[in-house]
Amino acid sequence: MKFIHTADWQIGKSFRQFGDREAVLARARLEAIESIGKLAMEEGAAHVLVAGDIYDSEVPSRQTLLAPLERMRLFPAVHWHLIPGNHDPHRPQGVWDRARAESLPANVHLHLGPEPFELGEHAVLLPAPLTRKSEGGDLTEWMDRAATPVGRARIGLAHGAVAGFGSGGDAVNPIDPGRPQRAGLAYLALGDWHRTMQIARDVWYAGTPEPDRAGSQEVGQALVVELAGPDGPVTVTPRRIGTFRWLSLTEHLADEAAVADLEAKLRALPDLSSLVLRLQLEGHLPLAARADLERRLQGLAAILFDLAADYSKLMLRPTVEDLDSIELGGVLREAADRLMAMAAAEGISDEDRRVAGDALIELFALTRDDVTDAAVAEVA
């Protein structure tokens, strides 16, 4: 049999740091559900397993509550199987009781207790829903004892962390990665970690279908899983789902050529308008190259969905030519010399060094603007 494994939709998640673009990211999370439905149809997969955190909060607005349900309704030939996660655990009168009180689509199945559920003639689903944000014990343990018809593949569905299992109760929502062997599972579908990851031959995290943080999943994915019978091999194929790409890069810069090379490298990246880039800059640059870097990154920021550059590890190394170019009077040159000495002084805090460096860059940029304006006036 073939099915789709996904998790961690977190519908309703806030992206306030993006200002007026927040709604674009929120809409992309809902569009990802439709992409998953289309993928299921293309692959001939009758079931989609969603391993928790469908919602970002236990108290979504009614519109947020209905939004994913209505999108799943658009694919009546696909059965969607949902379990609560740590962001949306099943509590009395909580988000899942509210969902049940609505006109729930017939093809959406809420698994709110540890009970076997038949997936047609070939498999049985064994869900492990969370009823609290944090569990000290492994909720997949019940699968060891679950009775299912002979000859059907047993598929586990859970939300939690395999890391730290067996750490004396310190792990939050722990899951034993050896559960498939003990419970006779053909596959264990996991959610919680936002990165697509294979833990064992038959244990996978789907990752999130739409990335939401730097340094985690770069592109959103879902897994196409094919089982060759209850004891046969498992084939898992990651497929891209999300619209946005979240990329984190660290770049070392040493001269003007490196600045130009960086711009060329970034402009060669695909789908710039849907790229969220976090750029850590390191190394040393002369003042002119540093000013050129900011100019080039400002141009890139105008086409990327979002660009955040961290200059904290990029040091200034002004040249004689840099300082000689600050020639609008002795006072400005004296200020530049003092700022340079401050930025290079031993024992100075990183914050003070950064402030001195930023002031030196601003002074350099100011004089460059004045020189340019004067040249334009002379031509005129």
- pLDDT at position 232 is 78
Structural domain span for residue 230? 2-244
pLDDT of residue 19: 93
Q: 316-319, long-range: CB within 8 Å, 24+ apart, which pairs?
A: 316/284, 316/285, 316/286, 316/287, 316/290, 316/340, 316/343, 316/357, 316/360, 316/361, 317/284, 317/285, 317/286, 318/286, 318/287, 318/360, 319/286, 319/287, 319/288
**Statement to judge: residues 205 and 307 lie in one domain:** no
Query: Do residue 303 and residue 206 come from a single domain?
Result: no
- Choosing from 244, 259, 278, the residue where a domain stops is 244
What gap in Å lies between CA 124 and CA 114, rounded to an integer? Answer: 12
pLDDT at 143 over 90: yes
Q: In terms of domains, do 218 and 285 share one?
A: no
C-alpha 86/C-alpha 1 separation (Å) is 29
In terms of C-beta density within 10 A (0-12 exposed, 13-18 middle, 19 or more buried), how is residue 281 classed?
A: buried
Query: What is the mean pLDDT of the segment spanning 312-334?
Result: 68
Residues 137 and 203 in one domain: yes
pLDDT band at 352 (very low <50, low <70, confident <90, very high): confident
Give the three-class secondary structure for 145: coil
Same domain, 279 and 345: yes
Q: Do residues 164 and 174 lie in contact, with contact meaning Cβ atoms separated by under 8 Å? A: yes
Q: Are residues 213 and 301 in the same domain?
A: no
Beta partners for 119? Answer: 123
Contact yes or no for 162/203 (Cβ under 8 A): yes
The residue-averaged pLDDT of 318-328 equals: 62
Mean pLDDT of the chain: 88
Residue 28 CA to residue 241 CA, distance in Å, equals: 10
Q: What is the pLDDT of residues 233-292, one digit of tens each?
A: 899 999 999 999 999 999 999 999 999 999 999 999 999 999 999 999 999 898 889 889
Q: Which CATH number covers residue 150?
A: 3.60.21.10
Q: Are residues 16 and 118 in the same domain?
A: yes
Query: Exposed, middle or buried by CB within 10 Å (0-12, 13-18, 19+), for 60?
Result: buried
Whole-prediction pTM value?
0.85
Same domain? 153 vs 212: yes
Q: Which residue pairs, CB below 8 angstroms and at least 24 apart, start in 331-335?
A: 332/363, 332/367, 335/363
**Range scoring the smallest mean pLDDT among 159-163, 190-194, 352-356:** 352-356
Q: Residue 172: what pLDDT? A: 79
For the segment 327-334, the average pLDDT, to the nearest whole number, is 59
Domain count, the chain: 2
> For position 320, what pLDDT does the model report?
64
Q: pLDDT: is 365 or 131 the higher one?
A: 131
Same domain, 192 and 213: yes
Average pLDDT of the segment spanning 201-228 = 94
Q: Are residues 150 and 211 in the same domain?
A: yes
Last residue in a domain, options 213, 244, 275: 244
Q: Are residues 184 and 257 in the same domain?
A: no
164 and 252 co-located in one domain: no
Mean pLDDT of 338-345: 70
Say whether pLDDT at 374 is over 60: no
Going edge to edge, which strands form the sheet with 79-82? 108-110, 79-82, 47-50, 2-6, 219-227, 234-253, 275-285, 306-316
Question: What mean pLDDT is predicted for residues 176-192?
Answer: 95
Domain ends where: 244, 271, 305?
A: 244
Residue 117 Cα distances to 109, 143, 309, angstroms: 10, 12, 49
